[in-house]
């Protein structure tokens, strides 16, 4: 793994923001050339999958398990400016359990006057029904890489309720249209990374701009959680280093996901080697 990542470990301020608000933003996480290349890759996927999903030019396109669909996406799995903050929050016993890209074209002109409540939700589906504690445990987080300009509200922004990751239920206004108090549009430039706790109440939004919004979401979890995707990544395994193989789901067996051996979690040894014993939780 690229040792320059050691220059981008989780800061004390980022940890405080994540614990308090449930998210934080890292500007200039991706260089402009890489953003351009990723946008081109998304254009290729859109040309294939929009007709396959029978979507109109104005409908949002979602593609899950995108990680295996272009070699370029593999580079972000352990990107030096962002990945260290993942292990800084979750620790070393982690995997990629979900990848989701969203392409949100401008809303059709005749639909722009419609007022609708945002689609507030927490991630992970049944996890939120099956677990009993309040608040529920974190278990996973996502990085959203924004590839287009969303610095102006109304451009398909990502919306969040800061601090809502500490509440299991969300109270919505009774009018059926308004959004909760504290609703916040995350307004970021291309190349920005947004980290958020899976428990954070959040939502996509309509795009009233003239630019198609494009974003890549990488979901990291503890290794004992079953992936939300098919994880079609076998073609990456032979050419990946041990840490990438860990993140892509490799294990010595079923027990290796819950009681890992050293070979199951090479990330632990790498962190210990470069940052010392104190950087590795038991």
Q: Is the pLDDT of residue 279 over 80?
A: yes
Separation of alpha carbons 273 and 72, rounded Å? 28
Q: What is the reported pLDDT for 19?
A: 98
> How large is the average pLDDT for residues 13-22?
98
Round to whole Å and give the CA distance between 182 and 191. 26
Q: Which residues pair with 25 in a beta bridge?
A: 194
Portion of the chain with pLDDT greater than 70, in percent? 100
For residue 109, pLDDT over 90 is answered with no
- Closest of 98, 114, 204, 108 to residue 150, by C-alpha: 204
- Long-range contact pairs involving 178-186 (C-beta distance under 8 Å, separation at least 24): 178/117, 179/117, 179/118, 179/120, 180/120, 183/118, 183/159, 184/159, 184/160, 185/153, 185/157, 185/158, 185/159, 186/23, 186/25, 186/150, 186/157, 186/158, 186/159, 186/160
The pLDDT of residue 48: 97
Could you give the 3-state DSSP secondary structure of residue 166? helix
Does the structure show a pLDDT above 90 at 115? no
Diameter over CA atoms, the chain: 60
Tell me the pLDDT of the chain averaged across its residues. 96
Sheet strand arrangement including 213-222: 23-26, 192-197, 140-146, 213-222, 94-104, 61-64
In this model, does residue 58 exceed pLDDT 80?
yes
pLDDT grade for 122, boundaries at 50, 70 and 90: very high
Tens of pLDDT along 160-169?
Answer: 999 999 999 9
Collapsing DSSP to helix, strand or coil, 221 comes out as strand
Give the span between the Cα atoms of 5 and 22, in whole angstroms: 23
Interval 219-265: pLDDT, tens: 999 999 999 999 999 999 999 999 999 999 999 999 999 999 999 99
- Determine the Cα–Cα distance for residues 107 and 90; give it in Å rounded to an integer: 37
CB 187 within 8 Å of CB 157: yes
pLDDT beyond 80 at 110:
no
End-to-end CA distance of the chain: 22
pTM of the model: 0.97
Q: Is 125 left (phi over 0), alpha (psi -120 to 50) or beta?
A: left
- The CATH fold of domain 3-275: Jelly Rolls (2.60.120)
Domain boundaries, the chain: 3-275
CA nearest 74: which of 264, 194, 212, 247? 247
- pLDDT of 178-202, one tens digit each? 999 999 999 999 999 999 999 999 9
């Amino acid at each position: 793994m690229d040792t320059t990542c050691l220059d981008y470990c989780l800061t004390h301020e980022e940890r405080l923001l994540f614990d308090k608000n449930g998210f934080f933003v890292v500007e200039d996480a991706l260089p402009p050339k890489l953003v351009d290349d990723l946008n081109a890759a998304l254009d290729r996927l859109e040309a294939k999958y929009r007709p396959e999903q029978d979507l109109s030019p104005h409908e949002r396109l979602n593609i899950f398990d995108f990680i295996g669909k272009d070699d370029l996406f593999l580079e972000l799995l352990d990107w030096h400016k962002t990945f260290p903050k993942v292990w800084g929050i979750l620790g070393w016993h982690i995997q990629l359990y979900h990848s989701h890209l969203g392409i949100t074209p401008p809303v059709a002109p005749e639909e722009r006057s419609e007022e609708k409540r945002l689609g507030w939700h927490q991630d992970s589906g049944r996890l939120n029904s099956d677990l009993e504690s309040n608040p529920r445990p974190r278990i996973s987080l996502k990085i959203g890489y924004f590839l287009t300009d969303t610095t102006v509200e109304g451009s398909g922004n990502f919306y969040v309720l800061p601090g809502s990751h500490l509440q299991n239920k969300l109270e919505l206004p009774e009018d059926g249209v308004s959004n909760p108090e504290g609703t916040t549009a995350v307004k970021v430039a291309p190349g920005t990374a947004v980290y958020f706790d899976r428990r954070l109440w959040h939502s996509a939004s309509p795009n009233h701009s003239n630019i198609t919004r494009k974003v890549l979401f990488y979901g990291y979890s503890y290794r004992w959680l079953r992936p939300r995707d098919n994880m079609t990544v076998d073609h990456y395994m032979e050419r990946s280093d041990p840490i990438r193989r860990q993140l892509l789901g490799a294990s010595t067996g079923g027990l290796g996901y819950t009681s890992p051996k050293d070979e199951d979690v090479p990330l632990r040894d790498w962190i210990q080697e470069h940052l010392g014993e104190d950087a590795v939780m038991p």
